[in-house]
Chain A
Amino acid sequence: MCSLEKRGNLFILILNGQNGEHRLNPNLFSSIISALSRAKAESTRGSALVTLSHGKFFCNGFDLDWVNAAGSDEETQQRFNLLLDYLKQLVLAFISLPMPTIAAVNGHAAAGGVVLALCHDYVLMRRHRSVLNMIDLDLGIKIPEPFMALFRAKISGSARRDLLLRGLKIKGEEALKMGIVEAVYDGDEEVTNAGIKMADDLAKRNWHGEVYAEIRKGLYSELCDILGIASTPIATPKL
């Protein structure tokens, strides 16, 4: 599933489990959402979170085996809708998290896995052996509005079109040019270490987590409206 490790001021969320593709099903979703709640509860000024995984995949999307193992077409649809609801909750949890977040993408990410990566403030990626693939179009699946709003907030113009509407497997260098990732690295270990280092550097800024989360929500105003997240006022500033 996933594990949450605390290392000094850093929360390290590791996607693991037997399923090498780290596919998103209710168990993994619940496990990640719980981990984020824990991080939030234990957060202080100067906290940061980095999400890692190891092996060939970062996260290959929804667990369609689980979805399709349902008894009927109706149940299959219900299972799929449940995963969409979980994904919305996940996005909500990430964008409300009171600390900077980094995804160190070591391997392939598809569909829901791309959404997972992009919920983070910063995405680092491997230069090779890692692609971002919004496979939804190829699978004949529409992308629901909340996730479209996430993409609209994070990526503009032709890059957005290329990510969503072109059936591309986007490699690290291309993702960098498109402004989707912050930096690319060679090797699983390099990208993981870079993720941890970046989290550490951001943690050292010692920002107020609540303020950070509120400003961050301002980057996602449309998404916040769709998800019904109101902005909370912050107490009197020290001037």
Chain B
Amino acid sequence: MCSLEKRGNLFILTLTGKNVEHRLNPEVLSSIISALSRAKAESTRGSALVTVSHGKFFCNGFDLDWVNATGSKQEAQQRFDYSLDCLTQLVQAFISLPMPTVAAVNGHAAAAGVVIPLCHDYVVMRRDRGVLYVNDLEMGLKIPELYMAFFRAKTSGWALRDLVLRGLKIKGEELLKMGIVDAVYDGEVGVTNAGMKMADDLARRKWDGEVYAEIRKGLYSEFCGMLGIASKAIGTPKL
């Protein structure tokens, strides 16, 4: 599923998911949401979270074995829809998390798996291995409106087109040019350490977590609007 470790001010979320592809099903998604709830409950000023994983994959999408292990096409569709709902809840949890978040992408992320790194504030990725692959078009699937809004919050113009409309397996260097990842590193250790260091540097800024989360939600205003997650007014600032 996943594990959450606290190291000083850092929360380190390790994705293990189901099998080496770290695939997502409601159980896995639930466990990540719980981990985020824990981080939120234990957060203080100057907290930060970094999400890591190990091996060939960061997250290869939904657990289609689970989705398809049913009696009928209709039930499979229900399982798929349910997985998508759970993913949406996870995205909400990330977007509301009262601390900076960094994803250290060690390997491949595909389909729904692409959403996970992208719900972090910062993405660092391996230069030498790993691709982001939005494969909906290849699979003959329309991307749900809500997730188009999500992608529109993260990128625009030709980069958005190349992310969703071109069936590309995009490497770190290209994603850097597209402004989708913030930095690239060689090797799993390289990217994991870089992710931790970045989270640490952000933690040192000692930002008010609630304020951070509210400002962050403003970057996803369309997405939040579609989900009905209103912005809360913050108490009187000391000026």
Please give the number of chain A residues whose Cβ is less than 8 angstroms from any Cβ of chain B in the complex.
Answer: 25
Given B136, B165, B167, which contacts A219 in the complex, CB threshold below 8 Å?
A: B165
A-contact 0/1 string along B135-163, CB 8 Å cutoff: 01111111101001101100011111100
Cβ of A208 within 8 Å of any chain B Cβ, yes or no, is: yes
Cβ of B231 within 8 Å of any chain A Cβ, yes or no, is: no
The interface residues of chain B lying within 8 Å CB-to-CB of A221 are: 148-149, 152, 222
The interface residues of chain A lying within 8 Å CB-to-CB of B143 are: 215, 218
Cβ of B77 within 8 Å of any chain A Cβ, yes or no, is: yes
Query: Taking the nearest CB of chain B, how far is it from the CB of A79, in angstroms?
Result: 33
* Distance between Cα atoms of A234 and B137 in the complex (Å): 12
Cβ of A146 within 8 Å of any chain B Cβ, yes or no, is: no
Cβ of B94 within 8 Å of any chain A Cβ, yes or no, is: no
Given B73, B152, B160, B165, which contacts A212 in the complex, CB threshold below 8 Å?
A: B165
* Distance between Cα atoms of A18 and B21 in the complex (Å): 60
Cβ of B93 within 8 Å of any chain A Cβ, yes or no, is: no
State which size class the interface on B falls in.
20 to 34
* Distance between Cα atoms of A216 and B167 in the complex (Å): 12
The interface residues of chain A lying within 8 Å CB-to-CB of B219 are: none
Given A155, A179, A212, A219, which contacts B137 in the complex, CB threshold below 8 Å?
A: A212
The interface residues of chain A lying within 8 Å CB-to-CB of B148 are: 215, 218, 221
Cβ of B80 within 8 Å of any chain A Cβ, yes or no, is: yes
Q: A239-B76, A239-B80 are in contact. Are A156 and B156 (CB under 8 A)?
A: yes
Q: A212-B137, A218-B148 are in contact. Are A153 and B167 (CB under 8 A)?
A: no
The interface residues of chain A lying within 8 Å CB-to-CB of B145 are: 218, 231
Q: Is the beta-carbon distance between A236 and B142 smaller than 8 angstroms? A: no
Q: Which residue of A lies closest to B152 (CB)?
A: A221
The interface residues of chain A lying within 8 Å CB-to-CB of B161 are: 121, 219
Segment 44-75 of B: residues with Cβ below 8 Å from A? 64, 67-68, 73
Cβ of B164 within 8 Å of any chain A Cβ, yes or no, is: yes
Given A121, A153, A211, which contacts B141 in the complex, CB threshold below 8 Å?
A: A211
Cβ of A174 within 8 Å of any chain B Cβ, yes or no, is: no
Q: Is the beta-carbon distance between A182 and B157 smaller than 8 angstroms? A: no
Q: Is the beta-carbon distance between A219 and B164 smaller than 8 angstroms? A: yes
Given A153, A179, A234, A238, which contacts B142 in the complex, CB threshold below 8 Å?
A: A234
Cβ of A169 within 8 Å of any chain B Cβ, yes or no, is: no
The interface residues of chain A lying within 8 Å CB-to-CB of B80 are: 237, 239
Cβ of A205 within 8 Å of any chain B Cβ, yes or no, is: yes
Given A121, A182, A231, A234, which contacts B165 in the complex, CB threshold below 8 Å?
A: A121
9 smallest beta-carbon distances between A and B, as pairs: A218-B148, A234-B142, A237-B141, A214-B142, A208-B140, A179-B158, A156-B157, A156-B156, A211-B142
What would be 10 A-B contacts, judged by CB atoms less than 8 Å apart?
A155-B157, A156-B157, A179-B157, A215-B164, A218-B152, A219-B160, A237-B141, A238-B139, A239-B64, A239-B68
Which A residues form the contact surface with B (CB < 8 A)? Answer: 121, 153-156, 179, 182, 205, 207-208, 211-212, 214-216, 218-219, 221, 231, 233-234, 236-239
